[in-house]
Structure 1
Amino acid sequence: MRVFANLEDITGIEPTAVALGNFDGVHLGHQKLISEMVEHAREHGLKAAVFTFSNHPKDLLPKTRKVKCILYKNEKAEIIESLGVDYMFEVPFTKAIMNMDPVAFIEKILLTRFNMKAAFCGFNYRFGYEAAGNPDVLRNIGMDRGFDVFELPPFKINDNVVSSSLIRTLIASGQVEKCMTYMGRHYEIGGEVVVGNRLGRKLGFPTSNLVIDTNMVTPPNGVYVTYVTYDGKRYPSVTNVGNKPTIGKYNKNVETHIFNFDKELYGKNIIVEFLKKTRDEVKFDDVQELADQIVRDCKEAKAFHEALAAEKE
């Protein structure tokens, strides 16, 4: 998949079918839209393309709280590429684009830059000045300019419309076990392991610590059953998200104990997948109480992993 980071770099593109949207979670609804676009592109001899933005459009609106990301940029690109996409147009959302007349948006970007012959979008897709552009505007211009428009109706699972805002709510409220239902994968946090206070090691439970990226949506403080992926291998684990209130004042971080693992991970990159929240973070009266609770947390997490393993056999 070829990725374009600036509109000015997009020239001489072969005719395309384009999936339009922010795709900030690449959830199952997004995947369905992109997959239908790819199938159409293959059937009609077109290149399969995704048009998205490198920043969230709402971030440019006044008095709007910055939207937290669900995926890291590399994750987003990897998932989109896995769906068979040829081109990913991931350009900055600017005031110039925000204030474009919807017809100019179609003419100058979708047609001139992308050489678009088919547009795929969700029912709630909006574009152009004051978000006046919508699927009907696309269809009207398409009839005149000779491109097809395919609009995906609300995509529902368990009577819920699948959306990035729904997934953000699930993560932020600790309902991480529901992410698989709507995303087709577990919610995860990745990064480089940093040196912590080494208390876990002293207590017999060495941990790998990740600093939380404040641009990402994160689960609430508490203990979670997790998997850790390191060097291409997946390990059962248990994770504490929080501020370590029993031992002092710390910034919120992710601290993971990997079962049956003895490698040194400082400076290495890992991915932590969140399966289920087991309890809230608690301030204990002393370190011994904390250690006793860690034993119980590990026992509960191991039992959960063993049950999962048994289901797969």
Structure 2
Amino acid sequence: MLLFDGLGSVPAGFGPSAVTIGKFDGVHLGHQGVLAQLKSLAAEHALQPVVVTFDRHPFALLRPEECPDALVSNDQRAELLVEAGVDATLVLEFDRALSELTPLEFAERILHDALDARLVLVGADFRYGYRGEGRIDTLREHGRTFGFDVVLIDDVLVEGTRVSSTKIREHLAAGDVRAAAPLLGRYPRVRSTVVHGDAIGREIGFPTANLDPAMEGFLPADGVYASWAWIDGIRYGAAVSIGNNPTFDGIPARRTEAHLLDAKVDAYGKVIELDFVEYLRPMVKFDGVDTLVAALAADVDRIRAILATEATA
């Protein structure tokens, strides 16, 4: 995939292209439907399919107090777009200058001058340009001026519900990873680096890989989860806990720990990715180590059964 970091990196003479524009946070099932239509129309008209997106949510600049947490990092989004078969992605820095472009300037500089767009695919609620003044009718007018057609994209529904990044965030914030997965079209995933912890898990017979809190992806609600862990391209079953481990005093910070099932891996310093499969239970303050160990053993038995079903599904 060609990745253009700003207008200046788009080569002269690029295109002609079919373009879709959006945040693409999560590259969820709705986005995947858009991308499939983009690729199909681009192939039909001998155009290059291009995604135009932004380096941050516009609210990060315009209304930071209302800016939602991202479902995926920019790097994760780029990887997901590659998996979806996108030929080229233009990432625009959403700064003050971009936010103040008029709809006409946006259409001229980005769609016409940089990308030589001939088709532009957008949803019915698409807004662009200064204060979102550009709408579908405006875009069609600009298309007549600059030589591109506008294609409206229908919403993707799952069980009658519109797929949206907002709905996925709501499910993850409630710990309902099962409900989030069909909207994403995959398991919810986070990525981080394994760091040294306090070794409590090893001391009680359940060693864990501790994730650096500076992770990529949207971490679901506190609790215990059945998960898949990926390290060096190998998948392991894992029991993952998120929270402050209330059984032990002096651990106030939220942490994410993965106990790999039936595997011993020296993962310190390595990248780990966690796919969340199912929520088991909340974090609980147990009345002693023996009670905690018994609960962890029961968790592991349940997780083995869950993942065995997932592996054969």
Letter in 2 for 1:109: I
Aligned 1:124-273 pairs, distance under 5 A: 124-213=125-214, 216-247=217-248, 248-273=250-275
Residue type of the alignment partner of 2:295: Q
Q: Deviations over 1:225-267 (max 9, x none)?
A: 0001111121111100111121132421210111111121111
Partner of 1:86: 87
Give 1:286 shift.
2.2
SS at match of 1:295: helix
Pick from 289, 292, 313: which aligns with 1:290? 292
User: How far does the alpha carbon of each residue in 1:122-175 deviate from its partner, in whole angstroms, 9 at most, with x for none?
Assistant: 222211111111222211221233211111122211111111111111111101
What corresponds to 1:5 in structure 2?
Answer: 5
Q: Distance in 2 between matches of 1:154 and 1:85?
A: 20
CA contact (8 A) 2:191 2:217 kept: no
Contact 1:68 1:217 (8 Å CA) reproduced: yes
Q: CA deviation at 1:214?
A: 7.0
1:281 to 259, 280, 283: 283
> Aligned to 1:112, what secondary structure does the other structure show?
helix
Q: Deviations over 1:63-87 (max 9, x none)?
A: 5233211112222112211222221
Report if aligned partners of 1:48, 1:84 keep a CA contact under 8 Å in 2: no
Is 18-27 or 204-213 further displaced after alignment? 204-213
When the two structures are aligned, how many residues end up with a matched partner?
311
TM-score normalized with structure 2 length: 0.95
Question: Once structures 1 and 2 are overlaid, which stretch shifts more, 4-13 or 164-173?
Answer: 4-13
| CA–CA distance in structure 1, aligned partners of residues 33 and 217 of structure 2 | 24
Partner of 1:50 in structure 2?
51
Q: Distance in 2 between matches of 1:27 and 1:84?
A: 14
C-alpha distance in structure 1 between counterparts of 2:292 and 2:239, whole Å: 15
Runs of 4+ in 1 over 6 A off after TM superposition: none
1:4 CA drift (Å): 1.0
1:216 and 1:233, CA in 2 relative to 1: closer, same or farther beyond 3 A? closer
Instruction: Tell whether the 8 Å contact from 1:37 to 1:120 is kept in structure 2 after alignment.
Output: yes
CA contact (8 A) 1:33 1:122 kept: no
| Deviates most, 138-147 or 16-25 | 138-147
Cα distance in 1 for residues equivalent to 2:125 and 2:157: 14
Q: Distance in 2 between matches of 1:85 and 1:24?
A: 15
Unaligned runs of 5+ in 2: none
Give SS of 2:114's match: coil
Matched residue type, 1:307: T
Q: What percent of counterpart residues are identical?
A: 33
Counterpart of 1:156, as a letter, is L
Alignment partners' CA distance in 2, 1:66 and 1:143: 34
Q: Tell me whether 9-18 or 180-189 shows the greater mean CA deviation.
A: 9-18
Distance 2:215 2:110 in 1: 32
What 5-or-longer segments of structure 1 have no aligned partner? none
Q: Which moved more, 1:235-244 or 1:246-255?
A: 246-255
CA contact (8 A) 1:68 1:215 kept: no
Q: Distance in 1 between matches of 2:218 and 2:79?
A: 19
Q: Deviations over 1:161-202 (max 9, x none)?
A: 111111111111101112221111000111110111111111
TM (norm. structure 1) is 0.95
The SS at the match of 1:64 is: helix
CA distance in 1 between counterparts of 2:119 and 2:196 reads 50
Which segment is superposed worse, 280-289 or 16-25? 280-289
Q: Distance in 2 between matches of 1:77 and 1:133?
A: 27
RMSD: 1.6
Equivalent-residue separation in structure 1 for 2:126 and 2:223 (angstroms):
36
1-structure distance, mates of 2:184, 2:115:
28
Aligned residue type for 2:39: V
Q: Secondary structure at the match of 2:68?
A: coil
Q: Which of 282, 300, 305 matches 2:307?
A: 305
Question: Which SS does the other structure have where 1:213 is aligned?
Answer: coil
